[in-house]
């Protein structure tokens, strides 16, 4: 199963050209399930729906309940923002949870759950977008605790591990990422572990998803860093759902247009027909 996570930079910049570039990347890499953040909706149009229609996929999305700070940044109060899941297979159920917010910076962060009705196993799939303030590690720690509890509440034990995607806005060695993983420090939920898929990558691979080579990032003079993640629960029987490959995609211009200010992460997970997995 091929899984991708991508922050699509809402409706900033040359969004009409960018969405075509986003579609081009997704059409090339052909993920089976996609977790998206900063998805826009305006009137009857929704970026996730537009992508799904063009890719022949199922989709669901969850809008922010408090988009007002987003509206001020864009200067347009008519555009919604949220997270979405696209799937090659039907989505059997979905749910959302609101994440904790700071006293003065509530912008409606949330997590979205979708149970993917894949041919051999239902897959518990999640996508989220944590608060972005660089100094807000303590708040992100509170958010990952709620996220981990949300995952626990939607596990029904069918053998395929939970898949948690998203823009954590946090460096790999941060408290919040370590707590969510639960294998480098005490886990956010006792006994619950999520492996960072990038642990399986070749150390020589380029990893920064917030990358100063991208002019949308370079304008802010911030360091390049990996802030976008695919986390996987411990593998099922005989390695079901384990990581076989991981790489960065969407990390260069398409016909001169950078698709987003973030690069995407693409992971291959082993299914029951793959080597090392015994049905």
What does each of the 279 residues of the chain score in pLDDT, given as a tens digit?
A: 999 999 999 999 999 999 999 999 999 999 999 999 999 999 889 999 999 999 999 999 999 988 778 778 878 788 899 999 999 999 999 999 999 998 777 888 999 999 999 998 999 999 999 999 999 999 999 999 999 999 999 997 678 999 999 999 999 999 999 999 999 999 999 999 999 999 999 999 999 999 999 999 999 999 999 999 999 999 998 899 999 999 999 999 999 999 999 999 999 999 876 654 433
> Whole-prediction pTM value?
0.95
Q: Is 35 helix (H, G, I), strand (E, B) or coil?
A: strand
Phi-psi region of 152 (alpha: psi -120 to 50; beta: other; left: phi over 0): alpha
| CB-based burial label for 112 (10 Å; 0-12, 13-18, 19+) | buried
CA 184, chain centre distance (Å)? 21
CB distance 41 to 60 below 8 Å = no
The confidence score (pLDDT) of residue 273 equals 62
Q: At what angle do helices 15-29 and 47-55 cross, to 10 degrees?
A: 40
**What does the block give as tokens for 181?**
């993983």
CA pair distance 219, 189, nearest whole angstrom: 38
The confidence score (pLDDT) of residue 277 equals 45
The confidence score (pLDDT) of residue 279 equals 36
The confidence score (pLDDT) of residue 275 equals 52
CA pair distance 195, 153, nearest whole angstrom: 19
Q: Which of 185, 199, 119, 188 is nearest to 147 (CA)?
A: 188
The confidence score (pLDDT) of residue 278 equals 37
Q: What CATH class has 2-269? A: alpha beta
């Amino acid at each position: 199963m091929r899984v991708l996570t991508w922050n699509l930079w809402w409706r900033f910049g040359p969004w009409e050209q960018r969405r075509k570039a986003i579609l081009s990347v997704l059409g090339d890499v052909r993920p089976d399930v996609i977790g998206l953040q900063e998805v826009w909706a305006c009137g009857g149009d929704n970026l996730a729906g537009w992508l799904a229609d063009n890719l022949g996929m199922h989709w669901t999305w969850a809008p922010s309940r408090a988009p007002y700070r987003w509206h001020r940044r864009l200067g347009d109060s008519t555009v919604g923002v949220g997270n979405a899941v696209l799937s090659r297979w039907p989505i059997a159920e979905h749910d959302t949870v609101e994440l904790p917010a700071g006293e003065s910076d509530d912008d409606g962060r949330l997590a979205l759950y979708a149970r993917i009705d894949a041919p051999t196993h239902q897959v518990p799939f999640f996508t989220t977008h944590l608060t972005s303030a660089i100094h807000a590690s303590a708040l992100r720690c509170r958010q990952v605790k709620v996220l981990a509890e949300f995952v626990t509440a939607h596990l029904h034990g069918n053998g395929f591990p939970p898949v948690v995607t998203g823009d954590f806005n946090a460096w790999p060695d941060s408290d919040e990422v370590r707590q969510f993983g639960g294998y480098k420090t005490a886990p956010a939920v006792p006994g619950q572990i999520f492996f960072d898929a990038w642990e399986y990558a070749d150390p020589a691979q380029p990893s920064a998803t917030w990358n100063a080579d991208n002019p949308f990032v370079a304008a802010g003079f911030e360091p390049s860093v990996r802030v976008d993640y695919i986390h996987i629960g411990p593998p099922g029987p005989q390695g079901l759902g384990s990581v076989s490959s991981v790489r960065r995609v969407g990390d260069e211009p398409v016909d001169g247009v950078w698709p987003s200010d973030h690069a995407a992460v693409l992971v291959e997970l082993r299914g029951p027909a793959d080597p090392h997995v015994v049905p």
